[in-house]
Amino acid sequence: MNILLLGYGKMGKTIERIAMERGHQIVGRIDLGNRDEMEALGAQDVDVAIEFSAPEAAYLNITYCIKKGWPVVSGTTGWLDHKAEIEDLCKTNGGSFFYASNYSIGVNLFFRLNKQLARLMNGQGYKASMTEIHHIHKLDAPSGTAITLAEGLVAETDHLSQWKLAPEQSDDAITILSEREGEVPGTHIVKYTSEVDTIEIAHTAHNREGFALGAVVSAEWLPGKKGVFGMEDLLSHLDD
């Protein structure tokens, strides 16, 4: 497969290595200073684009790919106010768009566990909270993974309707504390606290390998499909 990389930081380089180990070709490595190289590629030069750039670049990158007819897999967070526009553009143009806040298979199993625990805890008198810890280079807060966890928890909890970034809080919101430390790949902790005890679940990434592998597997799965997809679609395919 011919893969175009949009964003060539640490994550982009890890994706590149894994993709090449799996026999794919990298036809472009686009970062802030060489966007003209992407514009020089023809519609037939790219089988799929993998987009891990920056929040301020993601919307334009994804829009360009969809209009060009390139399937695009995106993992950039911090731009999701425009996600509905991208989905509409994808449908209008008959494009292929795959988005996930986190491509790790382990994290996506953690999403399922989070929702199941939230159902069990609903109405039991516990207060839910969340902490997410990432490296100091991460530009957005809270993380997209934390937002996905919060949305899953809110959907299963009667008295919650939203999330808030600490120190903000309210009775109808789960509070997310975002911390930035060193080179931490990503840690997410969901905690339930009452007067008598505390229950928590956590996912700790040891490196970027799981995220990058999931993105490449998603890119292998997407070409030939039309529409908007996410990790649940991929996991359902892997379960078959």
Q: What is the pLDDT of residue 131?
A: 98
SS3 of 131, please? strand
Task: Given the residues 13, 83, 127, 138, select the one marked as catalytic.
Answer: 138
Q: Determine whether the annotation assigns residue 9 to a binding site.
A: no
Q: What is the DSSP letter of 88?
A: H
Q: Pick from 26, 20, 19: which is nearest to 3 by CA? A: 26
Q: Determine whether the annotation assigns residue 103 to a binding site.
A: yes
Q: What is the pLDDT of residue 235?
A: 85
Q: Determine whether the annotation assigns residue 131 to a binding site.
A: no
Q: What is the pLDDT of residue 188?
A: 97
Q: Concatenated DSSP letters for 133-156?
A: EE-TT--SSS-HHHHHHHHHHHHT
Q: What is the pLDDT of residue 162?
A: 96
Q: Determine whether the annotation assigns residue 35 to a binding site.
A: yes
What are the tens digits of pLDDT across the range 92-101? 999 999 999 8
Give the integer Cα–Cα distance in Å for 72 and 44.
14
What are the tens digits of pLDDT across the range 177-197? 999 999 998 999 999 999 999
Whether residue 134 lies in the annotated active site: yes
CA gyration radius for the chain? 19
Mean pLDDT of the chain: 94
**Are 186 and 205 spatial neighbours (Cβ–Cβ below 8 Å)?**
yes
Cβ-based neighbours of 155, under 8 Å, separated by 6 or more: 115, 118
How far is CA 169 from its chain centroid?
A: 25
Task: Given the residues 24, 68, 134, 203, select the one marked as catalytic.
Answer: 134
What are the tens digits of pLDDT across the range 120-165? 999 999 999 999 999 998 878 999 899 999 999 999 999 999 999 9
Confidence class of residue 239 from pLDDT cuts 50, 70 and 90?
A: low
Give the integer Cα–Cα distance in Å for 6 and 150.
28
> What's the whole-number mean pLDDT along residues 3-22?
96
Q: Determine whether the annotation assigns residue 135 to a binding site.
A: yes
Q: Determine whether the annotation assigns residue 143 to a binding site.
A: no
Domains in the chain: boundaries: 2-103+209-239, 105-204
Q: What is the pLDDT of residue 238?
A: 65
Give the integer Cα–Cα distance in Å for 26 and 14.
12
Burial of 181 (0-12, 13-18, 19+ CB in 10 A): exposed
pTM of the model: 0.78
Q: What is the DSSP letter of 126?
A: P
Q: Which superfamily does 105-204 belong to?
A: Dihydrodipicolinate Reductase; domain 2 (3.30.360.10)
Strand order in the sheet with 25-30: 25-30, 2-6, 48-51, 72-74, 96-99, 227-229
For 2-103+209-239, the fitting CATH number among 3.50.50.100, 3.40.50.720, 3.40.190.10, 1.10.3720.10 is: 3.40.50.720
Confidence class of residue 208 from pLDDT cuts 50, 70 and 90?
A: confident
Q: What is the pLDDT of residue 160?
A: 96
Give the integer Cα–Cα distance in Å for 215 and 203.
18
Q: Determine whether the annotation assigns residue 192 to a binding site.
A: no
Q: What is the pLDDT of residue 236?
A: 82
Same fold, 2-103+209-239 and 105-204: no
What are the tens digits of pLDDT across the range 142-153? 998 999 999 999
Q: Pick from 140, 138, 137, 134: which is nearest to 205 by CA? A: 134
Q: Pick from 9, 98, 93, 12: which is nearest to 48 by CA? A: 98
Whether residue 138 lies in the annotated active site: yes
Q: What is the DSSP letter of 99?
A: E
